[in-house]
Amino acid sequence: MAHQILPPINYYQTESNWGSYQYITLSQLVDNFMLNYIGDDKLLSNVKRYNVLSHFKRGIQEFNYDTLKEIKVVELEINTNLSIILPHDYVSYVRISTVGQDGLLRTLSQNSTTTLGAAYLQDHEFNILFDEDGYPLEAEETEMTKRYKVGDPYQDVDCASEFDSSPMYGLKPDINANGYFNIDKRKGIISFSSNVKGKVIVIEYVSDGLEYNNGDEVVIHKLAEDALYSYVKYQLLNNKYGVQEYIINRAKKDYYRDLQNTNIRMLDLRGDELLIMLNGRKKWLK
Amino acid sequence: MINQVYTTVLAIINKDNRGYISPLEFNLYAEFAQMSLFEELFHKYSKSIVKQNARMYHSEFSDIPKHIREVVDIFTDETSLTPLVVLDPLNTLWRPLASNFYRMVKMDYRLKEIEEVSKLEINRVLSNNLIQPTADYPVYVSLKGAYRIYPSNLTENEVIVTYIRKPNQPKWTYTSVAGNALFNPTAVDYKDFELPESMFNDLVLKILGYAGVEIREADIIQLAQSVEASNTNNEQL
């Protein structure tokens, strides 16, 4: 339950209400917009609610990718194939890590020297084999993936331990002793290097905010509310026939201004924290 | 008001012994006139909104859209739905449970408006992940004078239709006394005009127009038309 003005006792006694005051629901956004922005005496009239809803959902998606910073975290255990399935609402990752013995995260790197693709089956004369519909037959696993899973990065010349004490230390900044991962977006899996075997994986990722699809479950932070109204207003005016260009431009400026404000607000910058960070610059590195 | 309208019409028509309209004829014209003025209200309302947005109408006494809305509101009512055709539970057609239904204003389900979608767009709406109809965002399409509502699993007795009803047929009732029709408002079938007192003049002029045609009196028709035209001109200022 989000954004309801509850008596404090109800709030504290129901776990699902905790923190809900930060958010506003999609249905409230749509109702507010229909009430305040659409009407005979307003810039927008004769607009269908499903158009408004569609733009709100697109806006929520866009805002979730970079403005809202609603990072979701999921912990998964890796299977024997050294892979895990992407979370159902995954859009893009922020960080993928393993959990150390101390409970802290060890960040993994994406391996740029291998990739997850398809392997076409070939006959003894190296001709590609096709199925009855004329499409190439594919192997279950590519040779690259097989070797990648079996290989031990610590034995590899590129591994971190090799470099740590050598004069070449630092020449390859992408080397990571914690391990590597690769994402096959189409198949929806993440594969890991063999040194990650048996470890617990933590995926920090962004979703599009619509994983609950409708109603009161779809929420956005109140700090982004105004920017979202401006986004929908601009999109509707921009797609409406006969609206003067200066009105569209005004709506566009409003939107960019509100988006910028939201971006600044969502940065979570606080004076005292900045002060502590800036104090650090006075330290001499020896 | 109906008696005042009838006596005024008769007074104008009878001047210089031009003619007479019987109660039967008057009742017929009264119904036509009321329906005609009622239908004009919607067009007037639309025009008045345009004028209000152009700052030609203002608040309080010059809030013309509000005045028109108040008249139409006399005829607004609420009802529920009843099935018209049950093809299968998913495709039931519903019609409002009201015999005097004239126009739909809106349809609500648990305080959420059921929005109309055109027949051209309904399939796109149904197959679109972002705007698929739900109990929070229900939609309907009109078909055969009835409605198909999506999603189909809404509890129909929770759907409330707000509609504009047809005005009741006015009837000037009388008793015959010495061959003369004497107004009798206590008759069972007596029905006054439902349009408000403010539309008295309009009703008289409309009925005069019809009566003038009947008695073939060009002066009467001309009078009715010229006053009506002058009223329209005043409204357009």
What is d(CA A223, CA A261) in angstroms, rounded to the nearest whole number?
9
Query: What is the pTM for the complete model shown?
Result: 0.79
Count chain A–chain B contacts defined by CB atoms under 8 A. Answer: 34
What is d(CA A152, CA A38) in angstroms, rounded to the nearest whole number?
62
Residues in chain A with pLDDT values less than 50:
1-2, 154, 156-159
Mean pLDDT of B123-149: 88
**Closest residue in A to B115 (Cα–Cα):** A49
Q: What interface predicted TM-score (ipTM) does this complex get?
A: 0.78
H or E element, residue B206 = helix B200-214
Q: Are A33 and A232 in contact (CB under 8 A)?
A: yes
Cβ–Cβ gap B131/A53 under 8 Å: yes
Cβ–Cβ gap B115/A41 under 8 Å: no
Question: Which residues on chain B are in Cβ contact (under 8 Å) with A53?
Answer: 130-131, 137
Mean pLDDT over all residues of chain B? 83
pLDDT classification of B222: cutoffs 50, 70, 90 = confident
Q: How far is B159 from chain A (nearest CA, A)?
A: 18
| pLDDT for position A262 | 92
Which residue of A40, A49, A210 is in closest CB contact with B137? A49
| pLDDT for position B96 | 82
A 191-230 residues inside an 8 A Cβ radius of B: 210, 214-215
H or E element, residue B163 = strand B159-165
Question: Which residues on chain A are in Cβ contact (under 8 Å) with B49?
Answer: 40
| pLDDT for position B215 | 59
Q: Which residues contact A73 (CB under 8 A, 6 or more apart)?
A: A202, A203, A204, A205
What is d(CA B104, CA B52) in angstroms, rounded to the nearest whole number?
24
Kindly report, residue by residue over B18-37, the tens digit of the pLDDT.
667 888 888 888 898 899 89
| pLDDT for position A226 | 93
What is d(CA B193, CA B195) in angstroms, rounded to the nearest whole number?
6
| pLDDT for position A13 | 87
* DSSP at A217: G
Strands B112-116 and B139-143, bridge-based pairing: parallel
Question: Which residues on chain B are in Cβ contact (under 8 Å) with A210?
Answer: 130
Kindly report, residue by residue over A115-139, the tens digit of the pLDDT.
667 788 888 888 898 888 888 888 8
